[in-house]
Chains A and B, each alone.
Chain A
Amino acid sequence: MNQEAIIEIKGLKKSFNGKEVLKNINLTVRKGENVVVLGKSGQGKSVTIKCIAGLLDQDEGDCLVFGREVKEMDDQELKGLRSKLGFLFQGAALYDSMTVRENLAFPLKKVLKIKDRKEIRERSLEVLEAVGLADAIDKMPSDLSGGMRKRLGLARTLIVRPEIMLYDEPTTGLDTITSKEISYLMLEMQKRYKTTSLIITHDIPCAELTADRILVLNEGEIIAEGTYDELYHSDDEFIRSFFK
């Protein structure tokens, strides 16, 4: 595996209204890797990836993406970074006043500045076919089921061909079968588009299917790291409790 670190976080701290959510986060994601951050709800998992995407500023520590400190980037640099980032939000964050087609065209027009309608149509259809939603192109997001919304969210982030994918609870709120489908889809997309992924979840089957490496986050700190099997057979009862 390529050892180039794409995301590097050292001593990350973040507080909200005096409450320390991230106490000391250290993690590295290498090129082509699928890293899962596992943890209970409210432990700061989403805050961590929002710091990586520059949606939140950390209080202390370093958050380096492609070797550059996110906090120190100006607007243009941040825009450049974000064009290489894909972020799948927990609720998919689809633009609900736009059709599926318009949702997909939006990043192409606004981020990649593509004006050619033919190219927009071709790229939209390509990603929709990849996530199995080609028939839904003229539907509104409100007409889609939870699983379809996640698929569309994934298609919208992949359409700009990002180098890094950040997944915030990609399977939350879905039934077991759809969760598995989404997890397989994430793996398939990683192979097809050769992305590096950081996946935030508390869904163990999703972690088992997608992770090359798992980090366990508890009370604002990474307390364990390893493959699924290593953590499954851990000596620490708390770590094992996740997998029961």
Chain B
Amino acid sequence: MGEQGIFLRSFFRNLLREEFEFEEFARQSYTIGFRSIGICALTGFILGIVLTLQSQPTLKEFGAESYIPSMVSVSIIREIGPVIIALICAGKIASSIGAELGSMNVTEQIDAMEVSGANPVSFLVVPRILACTLMIPLLTIFADAMALVGGFTAAALSGDMTIKLYFTKAISSLAFSDVFPAFIKSIMFGFSIGFVGCFIGFNSNKGTESVGLAANSSVVTASIWIIVIDAIVVQVTNSLIYS
């Protein structure tokens, strides 16, 4: 934890004091965000379909089929969307950052950057963490929207729900207390994914084996952080909203 604290301090110090690497930030945002759109869209769409198909029989039994849009939107936007997308990004992005920086460490590229007088934290770490913090909430919003589309597709195919009715019900059932904590949560997930990938990659050992270990460890650690942050944010926001 001590080393993570020092790394976190170094991140903020470089963020505030050093020249911002906008070009690298844009490149990382493209890599992290744009290149993850497909997997997030597919995941969201299928989540919406599955959630609708799974809950339809039970709701039908109670004559509450019309609650499907509300149930899908609240559960996806409040909890399932941010957590599932963050876990997918932990697998895709944290591992990629961990392996990339780990490999740069093994091949002495980080040392070369440092010894040349350039600042590796400012160039490698700050843009990656900020790009994750920005892009993961955006990917979550996009995946949430795709989940609603998926939910509508399933509902329309197995019933007579119109698109207007579906989306009116889905959106009107959402409150600020559903959307805001989820958004805050996905920002924190994004930060933790970027931070964990960078920390583990940057501090990996000098051997080829350590590249694989860095990738693996980044996914596991980021996933644990996501679950822990989720539990804390739910507890805190519930106590703030419902107290």
Contacts and interface: CB of A to CB of B under 8 A. Distances in A.
B108 A82 contact: no
A218 to B, nearest CB: 24
A85 B115 contact: yes
A60 B123 CA distance: 32
Nearest to B112: A93
Which 7 interchain pairs have the tightest Cβ spacing?
A93-B112, A110-B118, A82-B117, A93-B108, A111-B117, A87-B115, A83-B117
B11 to A, nearest CB: 15
Interface centre among A54, A82, A110, A157 (most CB of B within 10 A): A110
A169 to B, nearest CB: 12
B111 A93 contact: yes
Interface residues of B, number: 15
Given A96-B107, A110-B123, A89 B112 contact: yes
Nearest to B106: A91
A82 B112 CA distance: 11
B168 interface: no
12 contacts: A80-B117, A82-B114, A83-B117, A87-B115, A89-B108, A91-B107, A93-B108, A94-B109, A96-B107, A107-B117, A110-B116, A160-B117
Given A89-B108, A110-B123, A160 B116 contact: yes
A111 B118 contact: yes
A43 interface: no
A62 to B, nearest CB: 20
Nearest to A53: B115
A191 interface: no
Which residue, A79, A80, A85, A93, has most C-beta atoms of chain B within 10 A?
Answer: A93
Contacts of B107: 91, 93, 96
Interface in A77-109: 79-80, 82-83, 85, 87, 89-91, 93-97, 106-107
B121 to A, nearest CB: 11
Interface in B82-126: 100, 104, 107-109, 111-119, 123
A111 B116 contact: yes
Question: Does more than half of chain B's interface fall in helix, strand or loop, or is it mixed?
Answer: helix
Interface in B116-138: 116-119, 123
In this complex, the member of B100, B107, B111, B117 whose beta carbon has the largest number of chain A beta carbons within 10 angstroms is: B117
Nearest to A82: B117
A55 interface: yes
Interface string A143-161: 0000000000000110010
A218 B119 CA distance: 34
Nearest to B119: A110
B109 A107 contact: no
A160 B111 CA distance: 17
A55 B111 contact: yes
A156 B108 CA distance: 14
A134 to B, nearest CB: 22
A157 B115 CA distance: 10
Contact of A107 (B104, B116, B119): B116
A54 B109 CA distance: 16
A57 B130 CA distance: 31
A23 B111 CA distance: 24
A53 B104 CA distance: 19
B235 to A, nearest CB: 40
A79 B117 contact: yes
Nearest to A110: B118
A68 to B, nearest CB: 15
Chain A CB within 10 Å, residue with most, of B104, B116, B118: B116
Nearest to A162: B116
Given A82-B117, A110-B118, A111-B117, A87 B109 contact: no
Nearest to B116: A107
Contacts of A85: 115
Interface in A107-126: 107, 110-111
A107 B118 contact: yes
A174 B208 CA distance: 21
A96 B105 CA distance: 12
Which residue, of B100, B108, B111, B119, has the highest number of chain A Cβ atoms within 10 A? Answer: B108
A55 B119 CA distance: 13
